[in-house]
Structure 1
Amino acid sequence: MAPRLRLFILSFIAFFLLGSCDAQSTIKADTLTAQQLKPYGRYLYNQQHNLELISSAVHFGISFTGETCALYVSLADASAHNYLQYELDGVYQKRLRVNGNSKAPIVITTTPGKHTIWIYKATEAHTGAIIIEKIAAEKITPLSVQKLPLIEFIGNSITCGAAADASEVPCGTGAYHDQHNAYMAYGPRVARALKTNFILSSVSGIGIYRTWNMDSPSMPQVYENADFQVGGQQKWDFTTYSPKIVSIALGTNDISKGDRVHPRKPFDTAVYEGNFVKFIQLVKTKYPKAQIALLSSPMVKGESGKMLENCLRSIKAKIDALYPKDKPVATFFFPPMDPRGCSGHPSVEDHAILAEQLNPFFKKLLKD
C-alpha cells in the first residue's frame, strides 16, 4: 500500500474514533425531568410541569454514577436569589445559592463512583419557590424517602432555621433569608437522630393570633394554603402525608412586644388560647390519628415564659377534654436560651442544643 494511502486511511480511522468519543461524551449524561423526582414536603408542579419547592427543607433524592451532577434551577423573579443545600452520600455539604438571572446549571462535583444526593430547600415558603426543571448526571435515578414515621413541625422562624447560619453572609447584612439553614434546624435534626421523616410547616414572624409586630396574618389563616400566603389560590392536599406526630411551636411572636412602630396591644391569653384550641381542632380534621405535641419557646423567658407555659397547659387541658378518646396532648417546655444567631434567633449550634433537649421527648412519643 502506498504511504500516502496508508496515512489517509489511518487519519480517517482516527477521525472516526475521535468523533465517536465526542458523540459518546455528549450523550453520557442521563436526564431526570422534574416530574420523575419524588419530593417530600410542600411542593407543587407548575404549568410547565416543573417542580416548585415551597416549604422549608422540602427535599428529594437522586443516585448517579460519575463525578458531576447538574441541577437546572430557576426562580420566578429574575432579580431574586434563593438557596438550596445538599447531603452527599449521607454527609451534609453546604448551601447552594440560586440566582434568578442565571441560565447555567448548578454543578455538584464529587469523586468518581456511585453517589446519592439529597437536595433540600434551605429557605422558607415566603422567600418564594425554587423551581427544578431537570437534573442531568450519568445513570441518574430518583430516590424515594424511606417509609418511616413522620413528624410535622409547625412553627415560626425558629422552626424555619431562619437567621441561624451567618457563616457566609454576616448578621445584619444581605437579605433576611441569606442566613436561613432549614437542614440544621431543630426539627430535621430530631428527625435524623430518631430516624423519622419530617416536614416543616413554618413561617417567620407568625403566631397563633398575630405576627411579631402586626395583627395578621396568623398560622390558622395560612396553614391550609400550599404556599402559606394569605389569599393563596392553591390549597394544600393534606392527604399527601399522615404524620404520627404534629409538633406545634407557636407563641414567641404572639407574646412579642412588637417593633414599637405599629400599635401593639398586650398579649391576650384568652385570645391566644381560644385561637390555639381552634387551630388544633383544624389540625385534627386533617390528621385525625396524629399525636399533638405543644412546644414552648426557648426565646421567651421570665414572667412571659411562665405565662406562655401556663397557656399551653390550659390548651392541653381543653383539647384533652374535647377529645377524651384521643392520645392526650403532649407538652415540652424549653429551658431559657441566650441565642447566638442573627437578630435574637438560635444559631446552627443552638439548634443542635434544642434538638438534644427534644430527642427524649419525641422518642417517647414515637414509642407510644
Structure 2
Amino acid sequence: MAIRKCFYILAFIFVSLNLSGYAHTLKGDPGVLKAKQLKPVGRYLFNSSGQLELISSAVHFGFSFSGSKCELYLGLNDPNAHSYIQYELDGVYQKRIKIEGSVGEPTVITAAGEGKHTIWIYKTTEASTGAILVEKIVASDIKALTAPVLPMIEFIGNSITCGAAADASEVPCGTGDYHDQHNAYMAYGPRVARALNTNFMLSSVSGIGIYRTWNLDGPSMPQVYEKVDFQVNTSKKWDFGTYSPKVVSIALGTNDFSNGDGKNARKPLDTAVFRSSFVKFIQLVKSKYPKARIAMLSSPMIKGDKRVILQDCLIAIAKKVDALYPGEKPVATFFFEPMDPRGCGSHPSVEDHAIMAEQLTPFFKNLLEK
C-alpha cells in the first residue's frame, strides 16, 4: 500500500513538472490546430495518419495566434533525413529552419512581442526531397488562415523554378546535400507572385525536361506532372480541380539541351522530339486548365547557338499550339537574356532570381490583365 501511494505521489510530481514546463513555453491557454484544419496552397495531401504532407516547392499554409510563441510539430517520413521550411511573420520574411527526423519535439517560432501575429510557413525544398509532415500546431488563440481570393500563377519548371542551389548562405556550395542550398521562397516565381499580389504554386523538379532529364532519357515532366509527388512510380494522382490558375508558366528545356554527365550515353538533342513533346504537354495542361493562359519561358542558363535553337523551338511550338486552338488566346513567350549564374552548380543565386523576377514581372502583369 505504501509503495502504491509513493508511486501516485511521484506520478503527480512528474505531471506537475511537465505541465509547469509547458506553461512556461506558451503563456495563457494554448490551443491546438490539427493538420486537417490547415488550408495549404500548392501540392499537398492529408495522409491516413491525419498529417498534412507538404509536397511541392514553396507549398504553404498560414495561421494566426496570440502571444509570443507557437509550436509546430513537424517531421519527415525518413527519420534519418532532413529538410527545410521558411516563414513570414507578420508579413515579413524571416529565415529557413532545418527539420530533422520524425515528428517529435516541436519547432518553436518566437515573435518579437506579445499580441496577435500571423505566420505563413513555406516548404523550402522540392517534392523529390520528400514530404514535410505537419501533425499539429500549438499556440494561444490559434486559427488557420485562408489564402486571399486572388488570381493564381502555376510555375512549371526544373531546378531553376525550384530555387535549387540558390542559397549558400548557410551551407557552402559543394558541401552538404543537394537540397541544403534550396530556397523556394526566393525563387523567381514566388517573387513575381508577391510583386503582382497573386497566389502561386510551383510544379517543378530538378533535372527534368520536356522529353529527357539532364543526364538520362527520363522521366520527363509529361510523365510525372499528373502524379501528386512528381514521382513516376507513384500511383496517386494530383487533383487538378483544386485550383484554377489564370496563367500557367512553363520553363523547360535547360535539361533537354544539356550535354549530360559524361557517364551515361546521350544522343544529340532531337529538336523534332522536343517540339512535339512540348506541344503534347501543353495540350495536357490545357486539358486540366481549359481557361488558363499558357506562357513559355526560355532559360537564362543556355547561351550561344543553343539559346537561338531553344528560342526558335519555343516560337514554333507556340505557333503549333495556336493553330490547334484558333479561338483561344495565343501562347505567350518570354526569352531571358543570358546570365552568368552565381549560385551553386551553375544555377541562379537568390540575387539572380531577383533579377529574373524583375524582368518577368511586367510580362506576367500583362498576361493577368488580358
- Could you tell me the TM-score, scaled by structure 2's length? 0.93
**Distance across 1 between alignment mates of 2:21 and 2:114:** 21
CA offset at residue 223 of structure 1? Answer: 0.1
Give 2:30's aligned residue: 29
Label 1:24 to 1:280 Cα distance change in 2 as closer, same or farther (>3 A). closer
Give 2:258's aligned residue: 256
Counterpart of 1:90 in structure 2: which amino acid?
Answer: G
Runs of 4 or more above 2 Å deviation: 21-27
Give 1:278's aligned residue: 280
How many residues matched?
A: 350
**Distance across 1 between alignment mates of 2:47 and 2:301:** 38
Counterpart of 2:87 in structure 1: which amino acid?
Answer: Y
Give 1:5's aligned residue: none
CA offset at residue 74 of structure 1? Answer: 1.2
Give 1:104's aligned residue: 105
Counterpart of 1:45 in structure 2: which amino acid?
Answer: F
Give 1:12's aligned residue: none
What pairs with 1:73-222 in structure 2 (closer than 5 Å)?
A: 73-101=74-102, 103-110=104-111, 111-222=113-224
The root-mean-square deviation of aligned C-alpha atoms, in Å, is: 1.6
CA offset at residue 112 of structure 1? Answer: 1.2
**Distance across 1 between alignment mates of 2:366 and 2:223:** 31
Percentage of pairs with the same residue: 69
SS of equivalent to 1:264: coil
Give 1:3's aligned residue: none
What pairs with 1:226-265 in structure 2 (closer than 5 Å)?
A: 226-265=228-267
- Deviations, residues 139-198 of structure 1 (Å, cap 9, x unaligned): 000000000000000000000000000000000000000000000000000000000000
- Deviations, residues 291-310 of structure 1 (Å, cap 9, x unaligned): 00000000001100000000
Give 1:64's aligned residue: 65
**Distance across 2 between alignment mates of 1:95 and 1:23:** 27
**Distance across 2 between alignment mates of 1:310 and 1:288:** 26
SS of equivalent to 1:270: helix
Counterpart of 1:103 in structure 2: which amino acid?
Answer: G
**Distance across 2 between alignment mates of 1:90 and 1:168:** 23
Give 1:8's aligned residue: none
Label 1:24 to 1:354 Cα distance change in 2 as closer, same or farther (>3 A). closer
Counterpart of 1:33 in structure 2: which amino acid?
Answer: K
**Distance across 2 between alignment mates of 1:187 and 1:325:** 28
Give 2:45's aligned residue: 44
Given that 2:76 and 2:103 are in contact with CA atoms closer than 8 Å, whether structure 1 keeps it comes out as no
**Distance across 2 between alignment mates of 1:64 and 1:186:** 30
**Distance across 2 between alignment mates of 1:54 and 1:137:** 24
CA offset at residue 124 of structure 1? Answer: 0.3
CA offset at residue 103 of structure 1? Answer: 2.0
Give 2:354's aligned residue: 352
SS of equivalent to 2:307: helix
